[in-house]
């Protein structure tokens, strides 16, 4: 009897599961979402597979591959292999140029139906300087394989003065075996900003899409970008960036997320989706508004890009153009969004770089960004990158400042309050001080003792006021951050550690008694023996517990100029 009813229960459960499955498959649950759910069929695409949207690629007329695969390396020293590019380039040479990769998207993405014939098209622009050939080709193949032909007008390769022999004539010949791809070349390396500008000038589609030359796109990467820009040409859109393991070259799900802010040393920084931005979304696959972009990968309307003035041509080879452009987009009437269904895998370099960068130019890019867009907040950048008190040549600003005026761009204060309200600074009053934390009785200052890395122990050292003693002390969020690395915070152990990994990084300042009390442990910062910095039970009468801030705020030091 018991066995019989058990059997019946199993049969019933199986029927219920089958019914749920059928209901899901045939669309009973579809009306609950704002999207039209329909299974995509790929039979119409040349090549017959979802990832062969432009047919079989790279074959010579005799059917042999134009870029044959090499033998896989068996004997190698990984550190050595990583040194030249930051990834295992020789391994790439033996992997297929066309390969299927994991679908890291939210499952709903697969069912969104796009009216491909009525979406804007795009010109994909790859800029490269001495990119490893098979990695560059795999990037191009992935775009051809996974972009619906209606959406892909052309692929423009901008060679930024490379001198790797294969990137010369052999690349020219290989490109003949691919549809829609052409090369333009800069005689001399001019940096990614000018190279991308060249690509945009050459492009002919309504939108352009900038991609790094070591990426692989996932199926469906392009459609959400085009659908979103169709509604509003002032939207600048980014895919969600996943990664490719530098040693195995496996595409992996997970990267920098969809929402980015910045640190005050002008480095982009992943952040949780801000509350006000989350409030605009109703499903997990809706657009995410983001204060900044990572830079390597984005789509914009060509006319809107020129309306915003294009990139700042005074920028050096690499870096910070992403933040400069993000600030400009928001301040001058556009918006910046990430589409979670658009996923692109990027090789983040590890242990090496493909090219050298002349000293000083990244600092120049940062200082230009600060001087043009950050108004009276710019001095923080100057401090954070160690340029305070110096007057480096940052090139002419006039044309950019004129543009800012002509477009009637809003202030940085507006940007912080409206676009990035969850940032660590949204008002000048959030900066309690920027300078030394000083124990006046002993003339000792909190000092990083030349150790500027996570979990380094801080010390107390005779005050001299220079870099190792410069901290950003925040009023609203209450942290004390070494200005040289604003991702680190002073902890109750008197180390500087990743702010987000700790719960003991906030301090109350008791101004009347000059005590700095850790909000978690309730202990006070104190000068210990020798050069030690310690925390102890607070003692109102102990001079070693009394601190002042040497404030470099520009209201009090109006001589901060660019």
Q: Which residues bind Mn ion (CB under 5 A)?
A: 212, 296
Query: In the bound complex, what is the minimum distance in angstroms from residue 130's beta carbon to ligand UDP?
Result: 7
Of 475, 498, 359, 478, nearest to 428 by C-alpha is 475
- Taking the least distance from each CB to Mn ion, the nearer of 66 and 296 is 296
For position 189 contacting ligand UDP by CB under 6 A, the verdict is yes
User: According to DSSP H, which parts of 41-116 are helical?
Assistant: 78-85, 89-92
Please, how many CA atoms are within 13 Å of residue 213, restricted to the half-sphere of its CB?
A: 24
Task: Determine the Cα–Cα distance for residues 236 and 114; give it in Å rounded to an integer.
Answer: 19
* Cβ 496 to ligand UDP shortest distance, Å: 25
| Interaction between residue 412 and ligand UDP (CB under 6 A) | no
Pick one of 349, 410, 457, 520: the residue that binds ligand UDP (CB under 6 A).
Answer: 349
Q: Which is nearer to ligand UDP, 298 or 415 (CB)?
A: 298
Q: Between 349 and 523, whose beta carbon lies closer to ligand UDP?
A: 349
**Tokens at residue 39, please?**
């299974």
Based on CB atoms, which residue is closest to ligand UDP, 87 or 373?
Answer: 87
For strands 431-435 and 444-447, give the pairing: unpaired
Asked if 268 touches ligand UDP (CB under 6 A), the answer is no
| Residue 192 lies near ligand UDP (rule: CB under 6 A) | yes
Our finding on whether 350 is near ligand UDP (CB under 6 A) is: no
Residue 37 per-residue DSSP state: B
Least distance from ligand UDP to the Cβ atom of residue 398, Å: 25
Q: Is 447 in the site for ligand UDP (CB under 6 A)?
A: no
| Cα dist from 500 to 7, 413, 504, 539, whole Å | 53, 25, 10, 29
129 binds, among ligand UDP, Mn ion, none (CB under 5 to 8 A by kind): ligand UDP
> Phi-psi category of 48—alpha, beta or left, where left has phi over 0 and alpha has psi -120 to 50?
left
> How many residues sit close enough to ligand UDP to count as binding (CB under 6 A)?
16
Nearer to ligand UDP, 106 or 349 (CB): 349
Instruction: Tell me which long-range contacts 56-65 makes (C-beta under 8 A, separation of at least 24).
Output: 57/97, 57/98, 57/141, 57/144, 57/145, 57/177, 57/178, 57/179, 58/97, 58/137, 58/141, 58/174, 58/177, 58/178, 59/177, 60/177
Nearer to ligand UDP, 244 or 285 (CB): 244
Interface residue with ligand UDP, options 133, 191, 334, 435 (CB under 6 A): 191
User: Min. distance of Cβ 322 from ligand UDP in angstroms?
Assistant: 9
Rounded-to-integer distance, Cα 19 and Cα 280, Å:
35
Cα–Cα distance, 535 to 545 (Å, whole number)? 9
- Window 131 to 170, contacts with ligand UDP (CB under 6 A): 131, 160
Of the pair 86, 395, the CB lying nearest ligand UDP is at 86
Per DSSP, the residues of 119-177 read: SPPEEEEEEESS--HHHHHHHHHHHHHHS-TTTEEEEEEEEES---GGGTHHHHHHHTT
Contact letters (x/-) for ligand UDP, 104-133, by CB under 6 A? -----------------------xxx-x--
CB of 351 to ligand UDP, least distance (A): 12
Q: Which residues pair with 518 in a beta bridge?
A: 507
Please state the closest distance from residue 300 (CB atom) to ligand UDP, in A: 16
Residue 317 interacting partner from ligand UDP, Mn ion, none (CB closer than 5 to 8 Å by kind): ligand UDP
195 touches ligand UDP by CB under 6 A:
yes
Give the CB-nearest residue to Mn ion.
212
Q: Using the 8-state DSSP alphabet, how is residue 49 labeled?
A: S
| Nearest 10 degrees: Cα torsion 500, 503, 506, 510 | 180
**444 bridge partner residues:** 439, 462
Tell the smallest beta-carbon distance from residue 109 to ligand UDP (Å).
Answer: 25
CB of 128 to ligand UDP, least distance (A): 4
The contact mask relative to ligand UDP for 288-327 (x = CB under 6 A, - = no) is --------x--------------------xx---------
Binding residue for ligand UDP (CB under 6 A) from 81, 121, 154, 212? 212
Which CB atom, from 213 or from 494, has the smaller least distance to Mn ion? 213
Dihedral pair phi/psi, residue 537, rounded to 5°: -60, 135
Interhelix angle 361-373/321-331, nearest 10 degrees: 10
Residues that bind ligand UDP (CB under 6 A): 127-129, 131, 160, 189, 191-192, 195, 212-213, 296, 317-318, 349, 355
């Amino acid at each position: 009897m018991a066995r019989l009813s058990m059997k019946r229960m199993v049969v019933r459960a199986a029927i219920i599961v089958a019914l749920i499955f059928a209901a899901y498959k045939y669309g009973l649950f579809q009306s609950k979402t704002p999207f039209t759910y329909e299974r995509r069929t790929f039979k119409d695409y040349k090549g017959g597979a979802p990832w062969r949207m432009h047919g079989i690629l790279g074959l010579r007329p005799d059917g042999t591959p134009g870029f044959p695969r090499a033998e896989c390396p068996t004997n190698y020293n990984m550190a050595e292999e990583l040194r030249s590019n930051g990834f295992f380039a020789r391994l790439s040479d033996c992997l297929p140029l066309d390969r299927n990769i994991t679908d890291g998207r939210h499952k709903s993405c697969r069912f969104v139906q796009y009216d491909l014939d009525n979406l804007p098209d795009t010109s994909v622009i790859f800029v490269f300087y001495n990119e490893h050939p098979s990695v560059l080709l795999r990037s191009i193949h992935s775009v051809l394989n996974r972009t619906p032909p209606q959406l892909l007008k052309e692929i423009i390769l901008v060679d930024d003065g490379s001198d790797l022999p294969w990137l010369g004539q052999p690349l020219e010949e290989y490109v003949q075996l691919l549809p829609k791809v052409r090369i333009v070349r800069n005689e001399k390396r001019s940096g990614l900003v000018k190279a991308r500008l060249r690509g945009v000038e050459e492009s002919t589609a309504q939108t352009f899409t900038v991609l790094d030359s070591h990426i692989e796109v996932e199926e469906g990467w392009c459609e959400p970008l085009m659908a979103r820009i169709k509604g509003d040409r002032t939207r600048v859109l980014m895919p969600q960036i996943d990664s490719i393991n530098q040693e195995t070259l496996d595409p992996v799900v997970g990267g920098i997320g969809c929402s980015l802010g910045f640190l005050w040393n002008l480095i982009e920084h992943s952040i949780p989706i801000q509350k006000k931005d989350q409030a605009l979304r109703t499903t997990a696959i809706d657009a995410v508004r983001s204060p900044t972009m990572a830079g390597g990968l984005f789509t914009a309307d060509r006319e809107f890009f020129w309306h915003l003035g294009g990139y700042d041509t005074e920028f050096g080879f690499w870096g910070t153009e992403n933040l400069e452009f993000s600030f400009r987009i928001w301040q001058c009437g556009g918006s910046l969004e990430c589409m979670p269904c658009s996923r692109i895998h990027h090789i983040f370099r590890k242990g090496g770089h493909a090219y050298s960068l002349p000293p000083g130019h990244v600092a120049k890019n940062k200082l230009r960004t600060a001087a043009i867009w950050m108004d009276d907040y710019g001095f923080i950048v100057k401090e954070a990158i160690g340029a305070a008190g110096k007057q480096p040549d940052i090139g002419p600003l006039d044309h950019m400042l004129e543009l800012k005026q002509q477009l009637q761009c809003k202030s940085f204060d507006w940007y912080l309050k409206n676009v990035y309200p969850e940032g660590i600074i949204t008002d000048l009053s959030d900066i309690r001080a920027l300078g030394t934390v000083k124990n006046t009785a002993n003339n000792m200052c909190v000092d990083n003792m030349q150790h500027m890395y996570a979990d380094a122990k801080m010390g107390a050292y005779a005050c001299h006021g220079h870099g190792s003693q410069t901290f950003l002390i925040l009023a609203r969020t209450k942290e004390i951050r070494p200005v040289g690395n604003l991702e680190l915070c002073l902890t109750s152990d008197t180390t500087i550690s990743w702010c987000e990994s700790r719960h003991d990084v906030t301090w109350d300042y008791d101004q009347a008694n000059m005590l700095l009390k850790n909000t978690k442990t309730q202990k006070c910062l104190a000068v210990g023996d020798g050069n030690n910095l310690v925390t102890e039970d607070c003692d109102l009468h102990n001079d070693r517990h009394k601190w002042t801030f040497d404030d470099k705020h520009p209201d009090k030091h109006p001589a901060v100029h660019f």
